[in-house]
Amino acid sequence: MKFSNPILLAIPIFAFVFFSHTALAVLPEVTITFDRQTVSVGEEVHLKIRVESAGSAAQRPRLPSVESFTAYYTGHSSQSREENGKTISVSEFNFALVPNAVGKFTFPPVEIEVEGQVYRTSSVQFEILGKPGMAGTSGASVPSQGTTVLAGNVPSSAQPPGFYQIPKTQPQGFVPLGADPNIFLKAWVDKTVAYPNEPIVLTYSLYTRQDTQYEGFSEEPVITGFWIEQFPSPEKLDKNVVQISGKRYVRADVRKMVLFPQGSGEYNIQPGTVKVSVEERSHYENFMDEFFDDSFFSSRIYSRKIPKVLATQPISITVKPFPEKDKPAGFNGASGHFTFTGTVDRRTVKQNEPVTLTLTTEGEGNIETLERPPLPALANVEVYDSDVSSQLLERKDTVMGRKTFQVMLMPEVPGDLEIPPVEFSFFDPRAEKYTTLRTEAFHIRVQPGEGELSLPLKSREELEKRKGIEVEARDIFFIKDRLKLALLERVNTFRLFLLIGNGIATLLALIIFLYLKRQEELETNIALKRRIHAPRAVRRGLRQMGKLMKDSSREAQQKFCEIAQKTLNGYVSAQMNVSAHSLTVPMVEEALKERGESAETIERLKTFYDLCNQVRFTGTEIDHGKKEEILDTVEIVSKSMAKKK
C-alpha cells in the first residue's frame, strides 16, 4: 500500500523575491516560504520553494547543511499554464526542518538554479524553544481514543506509555523507540476494562511522514483468553492526515479486530510487529546520491526502499466478572445488546410428528458463542436440537449479527400442548445490568398420529457417540483349514445329471403338451375322434368274437352275431360319420361302392348281414365255418375301409 507524501500546507510568513536578470523582469520568479519562525525542539518548520519560469522546470534546490536542524525533503509538485502565448512552469519543492537544539539560530541562504542562473535567498532567523507545545501550531491534535492516547511529543526521547516496545531480539531494519520520528506504529484498544464477552476493538494504526509501503505483520500478535473476530482487510487502506506535536503524519489503520474476553481476569496482549518499506530521500552523501535523488528519478525508477519493522507496546486489559446481583437463573454468559424472538412452524401437529421452534437472537455482541436459551420443561415431548446458524455483520467498530436455533419438538401424546415463553438473558455492559427477554407462549394442538416408533433420545445419543472400528494395519487373512466345496460347487458336480434330468423333464413336458393338445383337437372334431377310435373298437369286437367262437350254444351264437354286427356297424358308421342306429345295408353298400370296393366284398357283406339276422332273430344255428366267415368279413371290411378312406 503506497502513501503519497503529505503536502505541507504552510502558512507563508516570510518571503524573498530575487531578480538577477533584467531581461526577465517578471520571470523567473522564486518564492521561499517558512510556516513559522518560533518553534520547539522536535517540532517541524515547513519550507516551501516555489519557482515560476517560462522555460523548463527548475532543478530541485539543495538545502545547506545546518547542525541545529535536520532537513527532510517531503515532496514536489509541478504544473504548467499558457500565458500570453508562453508556457509558464510552476514547481514547488517542500521540505521539513526539525530543530534539535534550544536557542536562536540562523538558517543560511538557499541556492536554486533556474534556466542556468543561480538564485539565492536571504538567511532567516529562528528561535528554538525547549519545551514542546510552547510554540504555536496550526494543525489539530490526534483525537483521543481509549487509553493509548497519542499525546505529547511522540518522536522525542520521552515516550508516553503504550507506544513502542523494543523486542529482545531486533530484526533487521527494526525501528527502536524514538529512533525514527517519521514513522511509528500504534496498537490501541477502545477500552481496557470490560466484562466477559464485551467487545473490545483493537486497532493497529501506522503513522508516517514518508512514502511508505505497508507489507503486513512480520510477527503476529499473541492474544490469549479472547474470542477474536477480525475485520476483513480493506483493498485500499483509509488514510488521513493528523498533526501530532506540530508535525503532520499520514495515519492508516492497518488492522482492526474485535476481542471478546472469555473470562474475568488480567490479560496482556502482545501486539506483534509490522513490516513496512520506506523510500529514503533525506541524505545527500555524495554526488551520485544527489543525482539519483533528483525529482526526475524520484518517479519511482531509482528510489531506494528501506525495510523497517515497527513494534508497539503490549496492552493490558482487565476483565471484570459479571455482577452477581440480579443475575437471572437462565443467564449463560451472553454479553452485549440483543433482541430475541421465537416462532413455531405449525400450530397443529400429529402425534410423534415434529414441530420446529425457531429462536432468533440478534444484536451487538459475541454472536458465535451464544448458547441456545434453556427450554422450559415439557412433559411427553421429545426435544431435538435441529440446526444452528449464525450470520455475522461487521460494522465500523463493532460486531453485530444474528444467531438462529432450531429445535424440534416431538409431542408423544395427543391433546393440547402449551409451550411456555422461552427466556433469554444477557448482560448489557453499557447499562451494567442484566436484561431478560421472552418469546410468547405457544399453543400446539396434537392430533392422534400413526403411532410411529421413534428411538429414545438417550439411545440416539449413545448411538451417535459410538465410534467405528479403526483399521490399524492391513495384511492377508490366514489360510482355510477345510477342504470343502461351496454349495453351488457341490451341485456343479451333478451338472450332468441335472442336464439329463432337465432333458427328460422337457421331453415329458413336451409329450404331455402334445397329448393334451391332441385331446383338445379331438374334443372339437367328433368325426375324427370316431375314426381314430373305430379300429380299437373293431379289435375289441374281434377279440370278443374270438372268445365266443368255441362256444356252440344258441345264446353264444346269437351273442357272436350281435357283436359282429355291432362291431362292423360301429366301424362303418364311424368312417361315414353317421349314427350306428341309422345305418342300413343299402347305405353300407353305397359307401363301399364309393370307396371302390369289389363286388365280391359287397356280396360278402350282404351275406354277413343275412346270416347274422337269421341267427339273432330266427334261432338258426351256424357251424364253426360260418362263424369264421363272419369274423373274416368284419376284419376284411374294416381293413378295406381303413385303407380306402
Partner 1 sequence: MKRIIIILMFLCALSGYAGAQENDLFASANKEYKEGRYQEAVRLYEQLIETGHSYASVHYNLGNAYAKTSDFGKAILNFERARRLNPRDSEILSNLNYVNSLLEHQVEDKRPAIIVGLNEILSNTSKTESSLLVLIFYGMWVVTYAFYLLLKRPPWMKRTVVILFFIFMVFTVVLILKISIAREEDAFVVAKTAEVKYGPSDQDKTAFKLTAGMPVFINDERDSWARIELRDGTGGWISRKLIERVFH
E-assigned strands of 231-380?
239-244, 247-261, 265-269, 273-280, 304-311, 315-319, 336-344, 348-350, 355-365
Q: What's the distance, CA 119 to chain centroid?
A: 71
Least Å from the CB of residue 498 to partner 1: 5
498 binds partner 1 (CB under 8 A): yes
416 binds partner 1 (CB under 8 A): no
Cell of 63: 538545502
> In DSSP terms, which residues pair with 87 in a beta bridge?
82
How far, in Å, CA of 209 to CA of 46, rounded? Answer: 13
Least Å from the CB of residue 494 to partner 1: 7
Interface map 456-495 toward partner 1 (x if CB under 8 A): ------------------xxxxxxxxxxxxxxxxxxxxxx
Least Å from the CB of residue 521 to partner 1: 15
Stretch that binds partner 1, among 47-55, 178-186, 356-364, 506-514 (CB under 8 A): 506-514
- ∠ CA(611), CA(614), CA(620), 5° rounding? 105
How far, in Å, CA of 41 to CA of 326, rounded? Answer: 56
Instruction: Name the DSSP letter for residue 504.
Output: H
Query: Restricting to residues 532-571, which ones interact with partner 1 according to CB under 8 A?
Result: none
Least Å from the CB of residue 508 to partner 1: 6
502 binds partner 1 (CB under 8 A): yes
Q: Which of 499, 527 has the CB closer to partner 1?
A: 499
Binding residues for partner 1, how many (CB under 8 A)? 33
Stretch that binds partner 1, among 68-76, 164-172, 434-442, 509-517 (CB under 8 A): 509-517
Overall size of the chain counted in residues = 645
How far, in Å, CA of 578 to CA of 569, rounded? Answer: 10
Interface map 176-205 toward partner 1 (x if CB under 8 A): ------------------------------
Interface map 516-535 toward partner 1 (x if CB under 8 A): x-------------------
Least Å from the CB of residue 495 to partner 1: 7
CA distances from 390 to 95, 185, 368 (A): 53, 35, 7
By CB neighbour count within 10 A (0-12 exposed, 13-18 middle, 19+ buried), where does 37 fall? middle
- Do strands 38-40 and 124-129 pair parallel, antiparallel, or not at all (unpaired)? parallel
Q: Which of 474, 643 has the CB closer to partner 1?
A: 474
Please, what sign has the CA dihedral across residues 324, 329, 331, 336?
A: negative
Interface map 292-311 toward partner 1 (x if CB under 8 A): --------------------
Least Å from the CB of residue 631 to partner 1: 40
Least Å from the CB of residue 515 to partner 1: 9
Stretch that binds partner 1, among 245-253, 512-520, 541-549, 562-570 (CB under 8 A): 512-520
CA distances from 128 to 104, 270, 290, 592 (A): 6, 39, 29, 166
Instruction: Give the footprint of partner 1 on this chain (CB under 8 A).
Output: 474-495, 498-499, 501-502, 505-506, 508-509, 512-513, 516
